[in-house]
Amino acid sequence: MFKGSMVAIVTPFKNGRLDEDKLKELVHFHIKNKTTAIVPCGTTGESATLSLAEHERVIELVVQTANKKLPVIAGTGSNNTYEAIRLTKHAKEAGADAALLIVPYYNKPTQKGLYLHFKEIAENVDIPIILYNIAGRTAVNMLPETIAELAHEFKNIVGIKEASGSLEQMATIKMLCPKGFDLISGDDTLTLPLLAIGGAGVISVVANIVPQDVAKMVEAFERGNLAQAQQMHYKLLPLVKSMFLETNPICVKTAMEILGMCEPGLRLPLCPMSEDNLKKLNAALREYGLLKGKKK
């Protein structure tokens, strides 16, 4: 259901406030550039520093602007189960096509607690739900057995964004979950390997700046042109690595500023890049051909 090059879209700020016009402009950019779904209010969208009102407004704006031309997968996760339910209900009312729900962070729930958290949401909101497993952000890894139990029991739990970094875990999820359950990469460096084990696509950071190239890699694999997919993977790899020189989304928003795509605004506790890493980022953009005067 959800596949291809999906973008974890940034939330643009101007003078510390949500830049609504720029957000709409970025949505139109992705409509025109082969992105297959838009994911607002994820990690890359700085959801942790959005107020509840801002969070809801971002989702509303993205849904309205996408206007059914692209699916919208709204980030609605929380470490508070009932806040997650509220955000997910709002996303459904706003017209989102699905909700992306991160494993509760900071609380460090057990596997039973994770099961009960997602059970409560699935039973209270009738919307397709994509789980989001990223232990590096949450301190807890949701095990394949827990994921499979949820996927088999609740028909509206339709996929997972997997960012554990373990292909073995991803393969086990694919093996244990029902046919049609979408296994989605949450790590741009692992998109091609994940596709090779039956994955559906990626929720991408680097697609904020090169959406057509991420789409081209996925499309090449889907056509059976592994050589072209590998070529795109290795072309993208240095650029992808530059997106994570510092905590996401510091680097991608800085790159977008350099490329004239949005204002540089980041909210504390995120802060501007160090000079050394900024030089590395500029070099990666130049080498990729995104800065004028250099080959692509």
pLDDT digits (tens, 9 = 90+) for 208-221: 999 999 999 999 99
Residue 215: CA count within 13 A, CB half-sphere: 16
The pLDDT value recorded for residue 154 is 98
Contact 28, 65 (CB under 8 A): yes
Note whether residue 159 is domain-resident.
Answer: yes
**DSSP assignment of 6-67:** EEE----EETTEE-HHHHHHHHHHHHHTT--EEE-SSTTTTGGGS-HHHHHHHHHHHHHHHT
* Structural domain includes residue 157: yes
Return the residue matching tokens 């596997």: 111
Indicate which residues carry an active-site annotation. 132, 161
Is residue 261 in a domain? no
Question: Residue 163: inside a domain, yes or no?
Answer: yes
> pLDDT tens digits for 238-276?
999 999 999 999 999 999 999 999 988 899 999 999 999
Within-domain flag for 271: no
149 half-sphere exposure, CB direction, 13 A CA radius? 14
Q: Is 3 in a helix, a strand, or coil?
A: coil
- Count of domains forming the chain: 1
Round to whole Å and give the CA distance between 72 and 52. Answer: 19
Within-domain flag for 253: no
Q: What is the mean pLDDT of residues 110-120?
A: 98
Give a yes or no: residue 116 inside a domain.
Answer: yes
Work out whether the CA dihedral 27, 30, 31, 35 comes out positive or negative.
negative
Q: Looking at the domain assignment, is residue 277 inside a domain? A: no
Domain of residue 79: give its range.
4-223
Task: For residues 136-156, give the mean pLDDT.
Answer: 97
- pLDDT tens readout for residues 149-168: 999 999 999 999 999 999 99
Question: Tell me, what CATH number does 88's domain have?
Answer: 3.20.20.70
Segment 5-35, tens digit of pLDDT? 999 999 999 999 999 999 999 999 999 999 9
